Structure 1
Amino acid sequence: MGHDSQGLDAVLADFARRPNAPTSDDRLRDAMRLCIERGLDRLPLPGSGETLTRWQRLATVGGIDLSLLKLYEGHTDALAILRELGCEPFAEPGIWGVWAAEPPSARVLASDRQGDQVRLDGRKAWCSGAQQIDYALITVWGGKDQQHDQPQLVAVRLDQPGVTIDAQAWQAVGMAHTASVDLHFDNAVGLCIGESGAYLSRPGFWQGGGGIAAAWYGAATSLARSLHQQRQQGRPDEHADAHLGAVDAALYGASAALRDCAYWIDAHPREDARLAVQRVRAQVEMAVEQICRHVGRALGATPFCRDPQFARLAVDLPVFIRQSHAERDLAQLGQLLTRRGTEDWSL
């Protein structure tokens, strides 16, 4: 048996390593453009007194389709950033994205600054939705002639010479359609947005991070509704009922945490929201993981195989929620609490 297994490994090695073909769904762009045409991208700004309303819209889109949510969240985040920093780089409307990942192996350098205009060279990784959008806000770093220890936010047009997309590295099955591709810049033009370091230091940075948790929550509620509907229509099953009870408890705690965080942000719009947001992201992440497990065990294979929306959400959500950095985020939360000295956990 062992010898046969080794033979199979060798015979099927190339098959096992075959690449997943990169995909791009033009219907995503059409759906996003429809949202813009109907004004559905004009959300209340974070900290404006209607943060919960903003998060409710993100949750709604997340419950419809997470690939669309990825475009929608990036676009609405970009609009909020531009408003917060008082910039309007391009007059023509379009779909925006925000790309601020900074892996050590991929960095874009800015040089030859003339006023707000800079020249861009290098590779930007994790550029979600680049195949469907028009403009992006990206973080870049000073070239040899302008060294900075803080990233500079730059607005770029994606249809210009010197910008190329490489989708070959994207092998995901979940979140396949809004591929987080690599972008290569070769003497491309960008416009500086705000001062160096403004992207990370503004209050909206952490406030926006709470919106991601709302999107996680929205996708989980959509899966939960499938279970609820099945229990209303299906035969008596105490095990499935127990799964539904566990799902409801998880959703109740996560929704309460999201509302509390949104109210705190609106009450303290200029304060650092990091602690509040890291708490709510941890709470919602744990709830979502429980919900995915309980819904799957209760419903079995049928919706994964025969319900297209459920199947997409079920495969997309585990990938999308990895925007969390798991134990690293929890460690940062613990460090924040440690530095506070004491914490009041009383009711």
Structure 2
Amino acid sequence: MDLQNYLARRPPDYADTAALGQCLRAMVEAGLDHLPLPGSGRTLERFRALADVGGHDLGLCKLYEGHTDALAIIEQLGGTPTPGSTWGMWAAEPPQARVQVIPLGHMVALNGRKAWCSGASVLSHALLTAWDGDQQQQLVAVALDQPGVTITDQGWNAVGMGATGSVEVLFDGAEAQAIGSPGDYLQRPGFWQGGIGIAACWYGATRQIAERLRQHCAQREEPHALAHLGAVDTALQAAADVLRCSALKIDSAPEENAELLARRARAVIEQSAEQVMRDVGRALGAGPYCKDRHFARLIADLPVFLRQSHAERDLAALGQLIAGQPGEAWTL
């Protein structure tokens, strides 16, 4: 069964983290997590899969994207994941929650607190960033069902994206395996390529929200609703074109630094998503927010997921990159 057919047979209504974890495990067992690697020549297929899951349910997409990202990173850095395992990719680094690495023979020991750990209570493993004695960032893989790992109920009071259970996790001497060398997580080409994958998730949810307006306009001609649909179409078309172009560029130069490409793509798709949410809401009124459960969940979850963008800070970083580009940066 392919991914689209699988999702079409499941109602997009996951009550809690346990339900999301059950679905993710079923997808892994069905082999639906075997996505093409970024830069493999099939990057657009990867983006399409992420968008499809995003349009189905953003909570599931958060866990699915983290799992598939972790698998890609492990493969890129020479590791081998345990068959049937489900993975989190936890790389948030708030100053009050840092994990330290201590050498332990051929393994390492982890100590400290990790924040924003999506799906922690329902995953078997996690790939996370930690810090060694020289204050270099090291990627480590850890089994979560061992002594020294405590899944808390702290740090997550969300309504939108609430089912992801992105709680804090405590490590006290837990054993882990170093993946790659210090600094590899940020330095590898896949880091920024994966950032565009996140934007594909945003796009999938945005497209599904827009579909509610398209269906409305197909049933009745309302000039204002049609005008909103025209605006929505242009926003979605821009986002889709950016994802297609980004995939082509990644596949044509998989080892190149994709930071500029990713920052541009994420900015365009974030702006498109915000415009679509605004236009669809103004066109349709309160009805779908209150009577269409799938729509209501997406429209509550998407603004939270979009905040993986850092808004003006990310735009300022993009502006700094552009300021250093030659004049032909915008040439057709």
Residues 255-313 of structure 1 show CA distances to partners (whole Å, capped at 9, x for unaligned) of 11111111000000001011011101000000000000001111111111111111110
Is the aligned partner of 1:114 residue 2:101? no
**Given that residues 115 and 155 in structure 2 are in contact (C-alpha distance below 8 angstroms), is that contact kept between their aligned partners in structure 1?**
no
Aligned residues: 318
Post-superposition offset of 1:113: 3.1
Is the aligned partner of 1:96 residue 2:87? yes
- Aligned ranges 1:101-250 → 2 under 5 Å: 101-115=92-106, 117-142=107-132, 146-148=133-135, 150-234=136-220, 236-250=221-235
Of 275, 280, 286, 1:290 maps to 275
Separation (CA, whole Å) in 2 of partners of 1:292 and 1:334: 26
The residue aligned with 2:242 is: 257
Is the aligned partner of 1:68 residue 2:60? yes
Post-superposition offset of 1:132: 1.7
Query: Which runs of 4 or more aligned residues in structure 1 lie more than 3 Å from their structure 2 counterparts after TM superposition?
Result: none
Separation (CA, whole Å) in 2 of partners of 1:63 and 1:103: 29
Post-superposition offset of 1:178: 0.2
Identity of aligned residues (%): 56
Amino acid at match of 1:80: A
Of 258, 272, 285, 2:257 maps to 272
Is the aligned partner of 1:344 residue 2:306? no
Separation (CA, whole Å) in 1 of partners of 2:286 and 2:70: 38
Amino acid at match of 2:169: L
**Given that residues 337 and 343 in structure 1 are in contact (C-alpha distance below 8 angstroms), is that contact kept between their aligned partners in structure 2?**
no
Separation (CA, whole Å) in 2 of partners of 1:41 and 1:27: 17
Post-superposition offset of 1:319: 0.3
Larger Rg: 1
The residue aligned with 1:14 is: none
Q: State the SS of the aligned residue for 1:47.
A: coil
Separation (CA, whole Å) in 2 of partners of 1:113 and 1:273: 35
Separation (CA, whole Å) in 2 of partners of 1:258 and 1:54: 11
Amino acid at match of 1:309: H
Separation (CA, whole Å) in 1 of partners of 2:165 and 2:272: 26
The residue aligned with 1:17 is: none
Q: State the SS of the aligned residue for 1:131.
A: helix
Separation (CA, whole Å) in 2 of partners of 1:92 and 1:46: 21
Q: State the SS of the aligned residue for 1:48.
A: coil
Q: State the SS of the aligned residue for 2:330.
A: coil
Amino acid at match of 1:67: G
Q: TM-score, normalised by structure 1?
A: 0.89
Of 312, 316, 323, 1:331 maps to 316
Q: Which runs of 5+ in 1 are unaligned?
A: 1-22
- Aligned ranges 1:50-89 → 2 under 5 Å: 50-88=42-80
Post-superposition offset of 1:92: 4.3
Q: State the SS of the aligned residue for 1:60.
A: helix
**Given that residues 67 and 178 in structure 1 are in contact (C-alpha distance below 8 angstroms), is that contact kept between their aligned partners in structure 2?**
yes
Residues 175-222 of structure 1 show CA distances to partners (whole Å, capped at 9, x for unaligned) of 000021100111111110010111111111111111011110000000
**Given that residues 17 and 165 in structure 2 are in contact (C-alpha distance below 8 angstroms), is that contact kept between their aligned partners in structure 1?**
no
Q: State the SS of the aligned residue for 1:111.
A: strand
Amino acid at match of 1:77: D
Q: Which runs of 5+ in 2 are unaligned?
A: 1-14
Of 32, 36, 41, 1:40 maps to 32
Post-superposition offset of 1:167: 2.1
The residue aligned with 1:20 is: none
**Given that residues 116 and 155 in structure 2 are in contact (C-alpha distance below 8 angstroms), is that contact kept between their aligned partners in structure 1?**
no
